[in-house]
Amino acid sequence: MPVKKISIPEDVIIGMLRSVPESSLVEIFWKAVVREDTAPLNSAEKRAVKDALDAYTHGTTTNWKSVR
């Protein structure tokens, strides 16, 4: 299926995302940002996952409300 690309000003996109319920945002980001990759993780990716889990465990992650 061909992919269409469009240009939209950043502030318009942010405005649209702010109007979407938070429960729907996760699905939107998975479809728009996350690529499917079935290859095994390399050492840098494994380290990034470990660092992220450590940050989550220690409560040093960024709160979504702060980004929003």
Among 1-5, 20-24, 41-45, 56-60, which stretch is predicted with the lowest mean pLDDT? 1-5
Q: Any idea where the domains of the chain sit in the sequence?
A: 10-62
- For residue 52 the two structure tokens come to 């992220």
Chain segment 21-48, per-residue pLDDT in tens: 888 888 888 888 877 788 999 999 999 9
Smallest CA-to-CA distance from 61 within 33, 52, 48 is with 52
List CB contacts of 20: < 8 A, sequence separation 6 or more.
28
Q: Is the overall model pTM greater than 0.85, yes or no?
A: no
